[in-house]
A and B are shown apart, each in its own frame.
Chain A
Amino acid sequence: MAPPRSFLWSRRIFLTLLTGFVLVPVYVMVSSSLKPLADVSGQFRWLPSGLTIRPYIDIWSTVPLARYFVNSLIVAGAATVCSVVIAVFAAYAVSRYNFRGKRVFTVTVLSTQMFPGILFLLPLFLIYVNIGNATGIALFGSRGGLILTYLTFSLPFSIWMLIGYFDSVPRDLDEAALVDGCGPLGALFRVVVPAAIPGIVAVAVYAFMTAWGEVLFASVMTNDTTRTLAVGLQGYSTLNDVYWNQIMAASLVVSVPVVAGFLLLQRYLVAGLTAGAVK
């Protein structure tokens, strides 16, 4: 059935406005990253007076961007791997077994989703400082400590979403595998995990994105050597000059990997959300 004119017109207007709203900051980011400093210091101009790739060269020396990049990569990567692996086991247990305490577990996991990060920040900060003082293990300021704290966000979400996803994998499949002689772990890894790949990818993408973009814990729990991009990017604003062209160039460099990864994998994320969050 052909949509009526009113629908088509309102759609055109709405989608045009929305595209503008979405695109303007993206345009500002891209165009400003190619402008000479004079262009971004004075009045805003839509078109640059001259194009330069200078900002892309300078970003690496103004602040130790490469180091922040590596730190972010390690922290976000490790947090992602940990939360996916742990969540796969937990979600499998909840999805396939009945056991005492299951209700308590799921309710706890679900409810930690809504806890404000600030609630955990203060105690974790003190726990890390105290562990450091008592044992000499430097959790505070270390990448390990940051990885651990990032699990506060990604783990509940991952478990929650994977339970829903595993539920959508027909039980008959892994029961057949059990009858075939697979152990429960064999059934998990040979049948359930492969069938739930979209959900697992979705969870991984989500975990990586939250860790890559997190600011609060990163700004409190890191030091000069472990600083992540989220905090390190603030280094481009010196007292005299704010290098907006460099800030935009660095922002783009930092964003491109996650945005590209997300756009490539968004199909899985949508599929994962359908199974996990919507049903």
Chain B
Amino acid sequence: MTTTVPAKAEVRQSSPGTADGPRRRPGRIRRIGLPYLLLLPALLLELLVHLVPMVIGVLMSFKELTQFYIRDWTTAPWNGIDNYRMSVDFNAPVGEALLHSFLVTLAFTLLSVGLCWLIGTAAAIYMQDNFRGRGLLRALFLVPYALPVYTAVITWVFMFQHDNGLVNHVLHDQLGITDKPSFWLIGDNSFIALLTVSVWKGWPFAFLIVMAGLQNIPKELYEAAALDGAGMWQQIRRITLPSLSPVNQVLVLVLFLWTFNDFNTPYVLFGKTAPQAGDLISVHIYQASFVTWNFGAGSAMSVLLLLFLLVVTGVYLVATSRGRRTKHA
């Protein structure tokens, strides 16, 4: 970095003839207005695709918005907090189903994020130093992440088929672990199926981020530890893992939010109506809105989901408090 600056200065001196009057110093108005001008496209789009829909979404959640009002949603009658009351009334069918879906999603997300982190971190640490075939293995490990979600999930759907799938063939026909072929995409097994697919697709992201984080750990730390007689395992426990903690804070939060909001995986795996055990909240809200045509209730559920995520993220950021956002704020 220090060498590039003098180099630039030289270039500057060697070309004094390029001065072209007024463009050299932007006027005061331009200097003040410029950042806003640069932000304008982003602001307009953020407004259009995020803020306006959010405001409308909140408004919708206070309306009785059924299929009769879709042509012009503004004419739908207000019903106050009825949608919310219905969503959180855990003794009635709608609220009970929502609570169940929420709990399934929470359990699924915690397990999936935990496994993705564990596998990704282990793989990144094991592949930190060079060995034969490392490059090939690394490329291979990124394939699940690079595959479009639907092609990856469709392949798993095929593997989970009752009669002609690989999973039953291996577990029942070849290994004899299950005494009869199981159903994986309906019933309680669907949770396992969902988790497997989610981890398969998700761990390479943790792998990528942790690998990137490993590059930032100074080699001197390991050298010093080695001089002090620390073995490989001790170095991993005492240096590698603690040094990764800022990376992990971002990684775990991002993984949590993505997994919690995941729609693509359950939707391709199960279709519009998921089995109870795999009824993730995104699909649940989608179903409440587009299958039973109650957009008001769907919106209220979305807002509740958002509030939950805001609280979780807020608590998480305060708890870890060294989040990267302070840098720009």
Q: Which residue of A lies closest to B215 (CB)?
A: A274
**Chain B interface main SS type:** helix
Task: Produce 1/0 per residue, A251-274, CB < 8 A to B.
Answer: 110110011001100100110011
Contact B46 A270 (CB under 8 A): no
- Interface set, chain B 97-144, CB cutoff 8 A to A: 119, 122-123, 126-127, 129, 137, 139-144
The reply to whether B152 and A89 form a contact with Cβ atoms under 8 Å apart is no
| Interface residues as binary, A61-98 with B (CB distance below 8 Å gives 1, 0 otherwise) | 00000000000000000000000011101101110010
Give the chain A neighbours of B165 by CB distance below 8 A. 44
Q: At the interface, yes or no: A144 with Cβ under 8 Å from chain B? A: no
Min distance, Cβ B62 to any Cβ of chain A, angstroms: 13
Q: Are A43 and B169 in contact (CB under 8 A)?
A: yes
Q: Is the beta-carbon distance between B305 and A116 smaller than 8 angstroms?
A: yes
Q: Report which of A122, A152, A219, A269 forms a contact with B298, defined as CB distance below 8 A.
A: A122
Chain A residues near B267 (CB-CB < 8 A): 215-216, 219
Residues on B with beta carbons closer than 8 Å to the beta carbon of A203: none
Q: Report Cα–Cα, A203/B32, bound state, in Å.
A: 28
B282 touching A209, Cβ below 8 Å: no
Tell me if B92 is interfacial: C-beta within 8 Å of chain A: no
Q: How far is the CB of A45 from chain B (nearest CB, A)?
A: 8
Q: A119-B57, A170-B1, A181-B23 are known contacts. Are A93 and B154 too (CB-CB below 8 A)?
A: no
* Bound-state Cα–Cα, A70 to B170, Å: 38
A151-B45, A213-B150 are known contacts. Are A116 and B140 too (CB-CB below 8 A)?
Answer: no
Q: Given the complex, which residues of B lie within 8 Å of A19, measured CB to CB?
A: 137, 140
Please tell me if the beta carbons of A270 and B212 are within 8 angstroms of each other in the complex: yes
B41 CB to closest chain A CB (Å) equals 5
- Is A194 among interface residues, defined by CB-CB distance under 8 A? no
Q: Mark B204-239, 1 if CB is under 8 A from A, else 0.
A: 000011011101100000000010000111000000
A4 nearest in chain B by CB position: B232
B179 close to A (CB within 8 Å) = no
B91 contacts chain A at the CB level, 8 A cutoff? no
Q: Which of B146, B216, B313 interacts with A263 by CB under 8 Å?
A: B146
In the complex, the chain A residue whose C-beta lies closest to that of B253 is A114
- Binary CB contact string for chain B from 278 to 322 against chain A (1 if under 8 A, 0 otherwise): 000110011001100001001100110110011001000000000
Q: What string of 1s and 0s marks CB contacts (under 8 Å) between B164-176 and chain A?
A: 1110110001000
List of B residues within 8 angstroms of A92 by Cβ: 38
Among B39, B144, B213, contact of A90 (Cβ-Cβ < 8 Å): B39
A233 in complex: contacting residue of B9, B144, B150, B211, CB < 8 Å:
B150
- Number of residues in A with C-beta < 8 Å to the partner? 112
Task: Give every chain A residue within 8 A of B247 (Cβ-Cβ).
Answer: 278
Note all chain B residues with C-beta closer than 8 A to A251. 151, 154-155
List residues of chain B with CB within 8 A of the CB of A53: none
1/0 contact string of A107-119 vs chain B (CB within 8 Å): 1111111111111
Query: Across the interface, which residues of B come within 8 angstroms of A124, CB to CB?
Result: 49, 53
Question: Closest A-chain residue to B251, C-beta based?
Answer: A277
Asked if B53 and A133 sit within 8 Å, CB to CB, the answer is no
Which residues in A have their C-beta under 8 angstroms from that of B12? Answer: 176, 179-180
> Closest residue of chain A to B211, judged by CB?
A270
Q: Contact partner of B329 among A21, A103, A183, A247, CB < 8 A?
A: A103
Interface flags, B142-161, vs A, CB<8A=1, else 0: 11111111111011101100
Name the B residues within 8 Å of A180 (CB-CB).
Answer: 11-12, 15, 18
Given contacts A19-B140, A181-B24, A213-B148, contact A220 B49 (CB under 8 A): no
> Is A34 at the interface (CB under 8 A from chain B)?
no
Q: Which residue of A lies closest to B295 (CB)?
A: A122
Residue in A closest to B56 when the chains form the complex, CB atoms: A123
Residues of B within 8 Å of A99, CB to CB, are 32, 35-36
CB of B155 within 8 A of CB of A29, answer: yes
Does A155 make an interface contact (CB < 8 A)? Answer: yes
B41→A244 contact, CB < 8 A: no
B270 proximal to A (CB < 8 A): no
* Shortest distance from the beta carbon of A102 to any chain B beta carbon, whole Å: 8
A9 to B261 CA separation, bound complex (whole angstroms): 38
**Chain A CB within 8 A of B195 CB:** no
Looking at the assembled complex, report how far the CB atom of B34 sits from the nearest CB atom of chain A, in whole angstroms: 6
Cβ of B298: which chain A residues have Cβ within 8 Å of it?
118, 122
Give Cα A22–Cα B211 distance, bound, in whole angstroms.
18
Given contacts A25-B155, A99-B32, 12 further A-B contacts (CB under 8 A): A23-B140, A90-B39, A93-B39, A112-B50, A114-B309, A121-B286, A170-B5, A176-B5, A176-B9, A229-B148, A266-B146, A270-B208
Interface residues of B (CB under 8 A from A): 1, 4-5, 8-9, 11-12, 15, 18-20, 23-24, 26, 32, 34-36, 38-39, 41-43, 45-46, 48-50, 52-54, 56-57, 60, 70-74, 119, 122-123, 126-127, 129, 137, 139-152, 154-156, 158-159, 163-166, 168-169, 173, 200, 208-209, 211-213, 215-216, 226, 231-233, 246-247, 250, 254, 257, 260-261, 263-264, 267-268, 281-282, 285-286, 289-290, 295, 298-299, 302-303, 305-306, 309-310, 313, 324-325, 327-329
A–B pairs, 20, beta carbons within 8 Å: A4-B232, A18-B119, A32-B158, A43-B173, A44-B169, A93-B36, A93-B38, A94-B328, A106-B325, A112-B50, A114-B309, A114-B313, A118-B285, A123-B57, A126-B56, A173-B8, A259-B143, A263-B143, A266-B142, A270-B208
- The 10 residue pairs across chains A and B that have the minimum distance between CB atoms: A90-B42, A123-B53, A262-B146, A251-B151, A213-B148, A93-B38, A44-B169, A97-B35, A176-B8, A116-B261
